[in-house]
Structure 1
Amino acid sequence: MISIPQVPENIARKKVIVYKSRVDAATLKQKAEEMKNELFVKRFSKPKPEDIQVVSVDKHYEPYVLVDAKYRIEYYTKKVYTIEVAEKAKEVKILGESFKPQMIAIPDTEPEQFRKVVRLEGQEWSFYEEKAYFILDKTGHEILPDQVPIAPSEDNPKKILKEFGNKAEKVTISNREILLMAKTKLIKRPPDMDTIDKELFHVTEHAMIYNPVYKITFRNTKNNEEKTVSIDGVTAEIIK
């Protein structure tokens, strides 16, 4: 398991967004009529339209997790700078500090030759930053952003979720696990880092998005077989 260092963090307050449904009763009825016969088609038989009835239409909310985060580290790396000086130099002063020159061999010289240098230890300042934007489904699996529709949101989302109770599904991944996922994606200290100047893990947006879904249950009155289909309440597309 990858070890993630403890770093300063700034976590945005989690928002709750409930999308407004764009699918009306007429659209649902049309969708039901279009698909009801196809659901019960078998290899050598097809039911009559009048034998297939809509038993129920239930509305629930499918949750998604949206995270937008970034990481930045400003750091110093130790460096040794070699400065060539005159052969007659016995001492070099830089900013009031004295340095004794050394003789070092010049590579690939025949016969071997030398040059006089002073070595200075210093630090170079650099930075590294990375961003991550991802969306999780209710099981905590990452999905493509375009799999989540965009729609106007309800003015009072918490009231809507309370009214729907268990029909507003829950995600099976905790906030701690979500943040750990973001940190795993982002926090990577540079291998040449010596000392840290500044470092921050910043979650700029953390949102729970609830998308309306209509579940239509059909029944074949000839054998009482039932099948269900889910329709996205924003796009009117069949989900499953």
Structure 2
Amino acid sequence: MSEIPPIPEKISKRKVIVYKSRVDPTIVKLTAEKMKHKLFAKFGFSKNKAEEIRVVSVDKYYEPYIVIDAKYNVKYFKKKVYTLGVDSETEEVKISEEFYKPSIDNSVSEEDGEPRKVINVEAEMWSSYKDKAYLVFNGEGKEIPPNQVPAAPSEDHPEKILKEFSKKTMALQVSPQKEIEMVKARIVKRPSDVAKIEDEIFQISEHAVIYSPIYEITFRNVKTSEERLVKIDGVTAKIIS
């Protein structure tokens, strides 16, 4: 059996994308003022007067998502020896320009008790396998459904934006190499008993960290000093918590 080489890889460099906010902070605050009683009814604030519940801050930060689009292809063969019985008078067998000399198989006899003549033909059993995956992870490295990531235009200077909001923006908990290994473990399936690999590639065509804007609104009951936080998606304007 030939030595199996390492899996060839073609990995795109990881990009950093920062989505533009589609929601203006002023609109966020005005919306929060209008809906604060509805939002806080479930927190037990429904009996409070309007002036007792105030918006004390509207902060912006970015939620990271890791997106990887990968595929894997392999073409290989396994070897197998077939034992074929031939007539007792056969001296030579020709198969596809190859000649085979029969030998005596003492383990099996003909009906008349004579040892059986056989030829051993080695064949290559060719097969292929391919798979692909489009995976999305949150900042902690946990896989999430792709539809949880909104779509939006991107900022022209992402590094500048991230630096400005670095204090509240979540740091990634996994390294780029760890992300690649998680995807590879999902789709790479190389058989262990192959004789030779003819063609193989693990490819990542898209590898990106997407930072999506989030607005965090702090409400305070001025009478009791209790506070509650509400998060609004800066792209879709939906309340996410």
**TM value normalised by structure 1:** 0.84
Give the superposition deviation at 1:47: 0.6
Q: Which residue is 1:166 aligned to?
A: 167
Q: How does 1:118-157 map to 2 (within 5 A)?
A: 118-157=119-158
Is it true that 1:218 corresponds to 2:222 in the alignment?
Answer: no
Q: Which residue is 2:237 aligned to?
A: 236
Number of paired residues?
235
Give the superposition deviation at 1:89: 2.3
Q: How does 1:77-96 map to 2 (within 5 A)?
A: 77-81=78-82, 88-94=89-95
Cα RMSD between the aligned structures? 2.9
Q: Which residue is 2:7 aligned to?
A: 7
Structure 1: tracts of 5 or more residues without a match? none
For 1:152-207, what per-residue CA distance to the aligned partner results, in whole angstroms no more than 9, with x for missing partners? 11122122112222233211111122111111112211255222222221111110
Higher mean C-alpha deviation, range 41-50 or range 146-155: 41-50
Q: Which residue is 2:23 aligned to?
A: 23
**Residues 126, 230 of structure 1: alpha-carbon distance in 2 compared, 3 angstrom cutoff:** same
- Paired with 2:87 and 2:219, the residues of 1 have a C-alpha distance of 94
Percent sequence identity is 48
Contact between 1:37 and 1:47, CA under 8 Å: does it hold in 2? no
Which SS does the other structure have where 2:167 is aligned?
Answer: helix
Q: How does 1:25-64 map to 2 (within 5 A)?
A: 25-36=26-37, 38-39=39-40, 46-64=47-65
Residue identity matched to 1:61: Y
Higher mean C-alpha deviation, range 179-188 or range 205-214: 179-188
Q: Which residue is 2:181 aligned to?
A: 180
**Residues 157, 43 of structure 1: alpha-carbon distance in 2 compared, 3 angstrom cutoff:** closer
Residue identity matched to 2:203: H
Q: How does 1:58-77 map to 2 (within 5 A)?
A: 58-77=59-78
**TM value normalised by structure 2:** 0.84
Structure 2: tracts of 5 or more residues without a match? none
- Paired with 1:74 and 1:44, the residues of 2 have a C-alpha distance of 64
Which SS does the other structure have where 1:167 is aligned?
Answer: coil
